[in-house]
Structure 1
Amino acid sequence: MDGTPSSLKLIKERRRGASERSAFCLLLLLLLLLNYICIMSNISEIIGAAAAAYERNMQAGSGSGAGGRGGGGGRGGRGGKPDTREGCWHCGSHEHILRDCPNRGDRRQRKKDVRRQAPPVPATPPAPPAPLEQRPLPPAPPQQQQDDEEERVAIEKFAAEFRRQRELQRLQQQQQQQKDEALEAEMAQVQAEFRSRREQLRQQRQQQRQQIGEERKAAMAEFKSREELHEQQYQQQQQQVNEEESAAFVRLSLRYPWRP
């Protein structure tokens, strides 16, 4: 890059393209996260429904086995061992079935542990007896509603973070644009300054050439006048020599007269 306006424009276009690509990547990541959350929620619902159906079938099978085999030796009896050939649907182990899975309900157990580990609520004085016309309290939300609420809170946090990143990116782009504009203004000022200096140098050179031409003309005129003066002096001296030569010959002819 040579710092010209075209190169600055190219740099700005590249930066704008990079910011657009990063924004597109963030948006694509948000969409993928939302899709993943929806898929996981659907999978959890399907697994829960399948587990409940399987448990009902197992309970029904155990009841029928106890009635048909006398209660003690069937698969559903108290002293019998459950059939683990199908394995556990929750963890994939073949050592136990779904109802005996130790990993089943880990999420609920963790939530229960968190609730148990919460600081105890300070003792409050007993509330006054409620009037007869007071409505009953609404039932506690089910587990699915709590999960949906947690997912909604997570999505809102992600959306807030995404908006914060976009705002930060917008501020950075604005600051970069201001820097580019200031750089362009300074470059234009520098170009104008050097352009004026070049114009001054060109004018000075033209004036010097004109002055040298005038001095040359004056010198040529002086040389020409001196040459003419020298030529006149030479002509006068030549004429004087000729006249003196003629006078000398005349004197000689008078001294020595010519005889036929």
Structure 2
Amino acid sequence: MEFLSPSTLEEALEAKHAHPDGVPIMGGTDVMVELNFDKRRPQTLIDLSRVPELAESGPEQGRIRLGAGVSYTRIVDGLGTSAPALAKASRTVASPQIRNRGTVGGNLGGASPAGDTHPALLATDAVVELASVRGRRTVPAREFYLSLRETACREDELITAVLLPEPTGPQQFAKIGTRNSMVIAVTSFSLALDPHTRTVGTGLGAAAPTPVRAETAEEFLAAEFDWENGSNLSEATVRRFGDLVASAARPIDDQRGSAEYRKHALAVMARRALSWSVTDYRKGATRCA
């Protein structure tokens, strides 16, 4: 196995161009597990941990630019206000040691349906930046996941950043696992309300071959929500929202949970996330008044 360790983004892109089957590695929290269990044996590993641009984050043209190599710990510590759903999701990832090493770029590259950050990226309409020696391009997170562990990233491209819109309303993330910590999600859910555009965003994890949205639920809630005051929704509306979220799922039975349980859990999490969001929305409306 060949091990490459570029120190600049240009070198990294050249390495990926020369070795399109090369596997990028940053924190190694997923790749090293696959190597240790002999589930993967690539000819080339491309270590990106020395590329400074990938570890940078900050505001960029009204959005937050999050380098693909920024760790979960830094997201939790620094983006609780500017990317609340992603920060909440990052807080649930594994242990402190894994959060210190793992990155959103790695989560996107692995594209596991159970990846903790995917629902938040979908709900908030994040954009994924991809780069190669041919240049850079962006792909909305909602178009990034193609099929099971397959993404829009081409074989000569690296994931370089995620672009996050500034939040204008409440954002939530909820996750159910077989225990309270150090666990892969049985299923997960994220919700974002945007009062500026009066739209709703959702993201479902471990609920289908790819992370998915509940578009019918989004349209229903956008029409029913009191965007002026955030007044309480009827019990029937909240329940209907949860049912529509669950109906968007295409889960499987596996060792972590049954398809039936996953749908039930999604409905419950959606109702809870909506209740939390209504409360937060009213607090924001009160401050504005």
TM-score band by shorter chain is under 0.3
Give me the TM-score of the superposition, normalised by structure 1. Answer: 0.18
- Greater fraction strand: 2
Q: Which has the larger radius of gyration?
A: 1
- Greater fraction helix: 1
Give me the TM-score of the superposition, normalised by structure 2. Answer: 0.16
**Higher relative CO (CA 8 A, sep ≥ 6), structure 1 or 2?**
2
